[in-house]
Structure 1
Amino acid sequence: MEVGKLKEDLEGEKAVLVGVIEQNQSEEEAIEHIEELAFLARTAGAIAQKKFLQKLQMPNPKTYLGSGKISEVKEYVLKNNIDMVIFDDDLSPSQLRNIERLFEIKILDRSNLILDIFASRAQTAHARTQVELAQYQYLLPRLTRMWTHLDKQKGGIGMRGPGERQIETDRRIIKQRISFLKGKLKEIDKQKKVQRGNRGQLVRVALVGYTNVGKSTIMNALSKSEVFAENKLFATLDTTVRKVVIDNLPFLLTDTVGFIRKLPHQLVESFKSTLDEVRESDLIVHVVDISHPSFEEHYQVVNETLAEIDKSDKPTIVVFNKIDAYQHVPQEEGDLSPKTKENYTLEEMKNQWMTKMDNNKCVFISAENKTNFEELKHLLYEEVKTIFQVRYPYNNFLY
């Protein structure tokens, strides 16, 4: 199957995107995943020229795709002077070697692409150390590939960071570097822990959510600060903490890195200290982009990741953002088939989710337009006040 051809651009490396529709996966789900891969590629600066999908029980252990489809992709790559092929799943070292021999151009998998985006977005020493550690952990089992192929490849997407600088290293040196970076992160973690302890006993609120749902925009609106916000995946890497006051009640608001499906294990491991901000929070604000067709899956991905990093049952507010961009497809008159989620109006969607939420702890807003923002602030105030009253019962008269 061939999925769409995207408009050509004059800048950026030209890429072809490749995915597999496995037996336990619907075609719609696979298309959604490869569309997200296209967004990742665009965030990294690549131009996706074409997307290929193939139905397989499981990816081919040698070349990911079947022989006929991989030949079709190669033919397109040669005819259109493509710079790289990006695969929607992690490739094993042997798959990478086989595919690179076949194409003789740059081959990236999903983890490599995400790591590259993180490397380009890391601003602080802490974030750069975390990303570098994740890169080395990714590269270690792929050293054979690095030895035999990187000397033929030019720079660009997927080649940032330690990759091109470590061609002549061996396993022992890379393991030493990993050990050094882990030690460095432990020291940074200690400093971060002291910083968190020095913040006093203010209630801590953590903004979490799938990447690109508008967390930084909400942070800016609530704290009246200028946290970097952009319509790209992983616009925010470094944890940002701001003091917010609503009706004379102060609390700390933390903006965290966005989650994503198939997040590389190396990144989860190396960003543990960033995720400590979630662990140590008193209240979680889970932001969801309700205008996205797969917002329910994104909601589930974040909940599953939160369950992995924090086993405690924290109070949670769910904020459905971007209601200004929400669109529904009216069901045709006389159509008796069951409604799909695309057929629901925003009001119907609200009623559905309000009944699902614990004590109606959800709000529908547009952070961009400040729609229903007072409702969000009121809900935040009530939740923070409840936590404060439990922690400081003798100060209840203040609020």
Structure 2
Amino acid sequence: MSEHSTDIAIIGAGLCGLATAALLSSLGIDARVFEASKTAGGRIRSLPGPSSPDLRYDLGPAWIWPHNQRMLQLAEQLDLPLMRQHSAGNLIFQDQTGSMRRDLAFATMGDALRIPGGLARITDGLAARLSNGIVAYQHAVTAIEQDTFGLTVSGKTPEGPFRVSCRQVIVALPPRLAAARIAFLPDLVAETKQVMSAVPTWMAGHAKLIAVYDRPFWRSQGFSGDAISHVGPLVEIHDTSAEEDPQGEAALFGFVAPQEVQDTADREAFVSRALLQLKELFGPEAGRPAKVFLKVWAADPLVATKRDQETLTSHPQYGPLPIVESWHDRLFLSGTETAPENGGFLEGALEAAERSVAWVRRHLAKSNNAVPGL
């Protein structure tokens, strides 16, 4: 069994967990991040297309908005460029009968910004700035236990079990996932677990299909790549090209309800249906992509639970979660779903990281520890 010790244990190396670790590190506070998967990023996932590893496509969130000051500042700190969501050209609208309009000159996401080469450049950049050893990959936390001297975090790695001794724990996971996958000793009260389990996991209500082509042919036809369909299976479609190149590799993505692709055996048939739809909307070339990605977030065991397969009809109301009094000074539930103002967005993950660090500083100050910057 491997043994670790740290002042602050952070569970999850998504955007919130990494940003929390970076902020604590900048204050000289000892912290380690424990991540179940092989890589950082959580729901931020960017995979390379067929022509170059530098052209990556976002299977999770992709957009940064002009009012997202934390995200804009972070991109600047990491020296990452921004590009506007492609919006020139007409939107295609398909009604319930299948009839289409191709003359709608407006863009649904025209104000959005993106990171050329994929949003994972943000989380990759954060992870790279952390000292070696701060992020422990393939460390799946299964239990958090209180004892006389502090907390013990335990779990599994491919090599066997591990244990971590610490003073405080920040759980930077979707609340539903934390409630389902982590044993708390002593147990959280039933009301807290019910509240955690009731919080919909951001992104889990979506599946995302990306079709990559050798060029953005729809633009020369006068289309932006935006489409809204009441027939499906793709209900909302956008240009998701990895860079703004009028002749280079390009891509379209579509959102789909996860119920359409719950069964893995049906995914090949689903992809065929989606390509037929793209062909109908954008012409024959749309049916012949060089590569297709399909990510069903509700089926990812490191992100979602079975309850997350429920379709959401609107953006959930997110916010801070209750803390059981017996865990008050030791456990903090974080992640974008806990952000009061920007819950469920990238900005919310950074907001939650700031709240986590403020909580650590408050409680370290109470215990008369010298914290740089206080």
Pick the TM interval, shorter chain.
under 0.3
Give the TM-score of the pair, scaled to structure 2.
Answer: 0.26
Whose relative contact order is higher, 1 or 2, with alpha carbons under 8 Å and at least 6 apart? 2
Q: Which has the higher helix share?
A: 1
- TM-score, normalised to structure 1's length? 0.25
